[in-house]
Amino acid sequence: SQQGEEDPQALSIQEGENATMNCSYKTSINNLQWYRQNSGRGLVHLILIRSNEREKHSGRLRVTLDTSKKSSSLLITASRAADTASYFCATAQSTNAGKSTFGDGTTLTVKP
């Protein structure tokens, strides 16, 4: 069964607003990663948060992890039109080395 599931499936906001995407998973993890994908291109790694971490920042990105709820959120602050892309979470499970499992992704549209 699918490990990571993103919510919402699609999000449309105005430039300058914040965008929040959520990811839920089912089993114990070693880490959770967020990736970004522009249409028809490869995925680009954004940020990795380990299971013993609760929050991580990178520029305008803020990721939280709640292992008790098996969920993570990605916040993009002060969004730009260039942030328009699909965002995926990927979970690396404790018992499944080498197999990061991806969710369906959230498609973010930032209107100028």
Partner 1 sequence: ETGVTQTPRHLVMGMTNKKSLKCEQHLGHNAMYWYKQSAKKPLELMFVYSLEERVENNSVPSRFSPECPNSSHLFLHLHTLQPEDSALYLCASSLRTVNEKLFFGSGTQLSVL
Q: 32 and 49 in contact (C-beta within 8 Å)?
A: yes
- In angstroms, what is the minimal distance from the CB of 43 to partner 1? 5
44 scored as a contact of partner 1 (CB under 8 A)? yes
7 scored as a contact of partner 1 (CB under 8 A)? no
From 17, 27, 45, 57, residue interacting with partner 1 (rule: CB under 8 A): 45
92 scored as a contact of partner 1 (CB under 8 A)? yes
Name the burial class of residue 58, with classes exposed (0-12), middle (13-18) and buried (19+) by CB atoms within 10 angstroms of its CB.
Answer: exposed
Q: Parallel, antiparallel, or unpaired: how do β-strands 55-58 and 85-93 relate?
A: unpaired
Q: Which stretch binds partner 1 (CB under 8 A): 11-19, 53-61, 75-83, 92-100?
A: 92-100
104 scored as a contact of partner 1 (CB under 8 A)? yes
In sign, the C-alpha dihedral spanning 47, 51, 53, 55 is positive
Token code pair at residue 35: 């990736």
99 scored as a contact of partner 1 (CB under 8 A)? yes
